[in-house]
Structures are given as C-alpha cells and as structure tokens.
Amino acid sequence: MTSPKQQCAEKALDYLKDGMVLGVGTGSTTEAFIALLEPWRNRLEAVVASSIATAEKLKALKMPLVELNEVGKIDLYVDGADEINDHLQMIKGGGAAMTREKILAAASQQFICIAEKSKHVDLLAKKAPVPVEVIPMARSFVAREIVKLGGQPEYRIGVKTDNGNAILDCYYLDCIDPLALEQTLSMIPGVVGNGVFAKRRADRWLHE
C-alpha cells in the first residue's frame, strides 16, 4: 500500500515532459517524488536541486544535475509544503531550505505543490511557525524585530542552513495577509529569506 506522501508524489509524474528542466524541492514528500525519477534520467534535460540533501539524492540516481546558474529557466518545480491555503499560498521551511526553494519557485514556469490533505489550513501560520533564515550575527536583532511584529521567535538550535545561516521559527505572526507578511519579513535587515510563499504561490496542489 502506498503512503499519502507517495500518492502525492506519483501524481506529479503526470506533469513531467521530455526535455524539461525540472526543479526539485526538499523534504519527505519530495523524497518520495525523487524515488520515482529514475526512469526520467535520460529524458529530462536537466535537474536543479533546492538543497544539498536533495542534490545528494539526485546524484545517487545519476540524474542530470546542474546549478541554477547554468540554466535559463526551470520548466517545472515540484516541492512540498508545511501548510497550504485555498489560494495555494504556503508556509515552507520545515526542512530549513525555504530560501533556495523560493528562488527555484520564482525561476519556474510552473510550481506544483505535493502535500497531503492534512496540510490544508484556512489561515496560514496560525499553528505552524514561520521559519525565517537570518545571518548569524543578526539573529538577536531580527528576533527583537519579530517580537515587535507580535511574533514569538524560537532559535532552531543546532541547525545551519545550506547558506550557512540560522533559522528563527516565528510563532503567532499575523498572516491574514500573507503577501504583506512575506514582504514585511523580507525587509528586516539580516533576514535572508522567509517561509511565507505568497508572491510566488503554487500553480497547482496535488494531494492524495
């Protein structure tokens, strides 16, 4: 019997086309998708990874892995989410990869989110924290700015992003307007990226 994550991943295969440049996200649902990619090894033009962990998995399958700088655009980006709403806006970054994920999503023609039905929420960030990637020397400053916004930041101890930065998991931020929150967080000096995906939301959500 296939798990819900595998069922989501299988559905994304329908969107693959010969000669595509594929972007691949990070996390356990994406991992289930990667496990299905071997038959596509010689059919895709190139594959771009959103994290070192994903790159390692793709390398193990001998997929045609390239850096984003080597391709003009990504045709299709497939990634999971921690939360998703009716507008296909998301909270991401449970795996600390949201900054690179957001770059790949922005560079992609089409963004497919593969996430179980249980990830659906009416209001983003009510339960899940918003992960914020910060330059280490700015961590306390950014934390104080988050508090001013009404949030409660928690330092994700022992986690260093692929970019060498720290993560603050921010609870209780007002996310009634996800676009506004995404923008506000982006403007804090020292913030490298945040897990609100509103400006570049998913084009499609595939669930079990």
**Sequence-separated (6 or more) residues with CB below 8 Å from residue 138:** 189, 190, 191
| Residues acting as catalytic residues | 101
Cα–Cα distance, 82 to 89 (Å, whole number): 11
Of 69-77, 95-103, 142-150, 161-169: span binding ligand 5RP (CB under 6 A): 95-103
The stretch among 58-66, 89-97, 153-161, 178-186 that binds ligand 5RP (CB under 6 A) is 89-97
Q: Which is nearer to ligand 5RP, 2 or 140 (CB)?
A: 2
Q: Does 25 contact ligand 5RP by CB under 6 A?
A: yes
Residue of the chain from 44, 46, 74, 80 that contacts ligand 5RP (CB under 6 A): 80
Binding marks (x or -) toward ligand 5RP, 26..45, rule CB under 6 A?
A: xxxxx---------------
The reply on whether position 81 binds ligand 5RP by CB under 6 A is: yes
Could you say which residues in the range 104-163 bind ligand 5RP, by CB under 6 A?
A: none
CA atoms within 13 A on the CB side of 207: 14
Of 12, 46, 94, 162, which one interacts with ligand 5RP (CB under 6 A)?
94
CB-CB contact of 25 with 50 (8 Å): yes
**Cβ-based neighbour number of residue 107 at 10 Å:** 18
Q: Which two three-digit tokens encode residue 42?
A: 């010689």
Whether 58 contacts 26, CB under 8 Å: no
Tally of CA atoms within 13 A in the half-sphere of 23 that contains its CB: 31
| Distance in angstroms (rounded) separating the CA atoms of residues 107 and 23 | 9
Q: Which stretch binds ligand 5RP (CB under 6 A): 75-83, 104-112, 172-180, 185-193?
A: 75-83
- Interface residues with ligand 5RP (CB under 6 A) are 25-30, 79-82, 92-98, 101
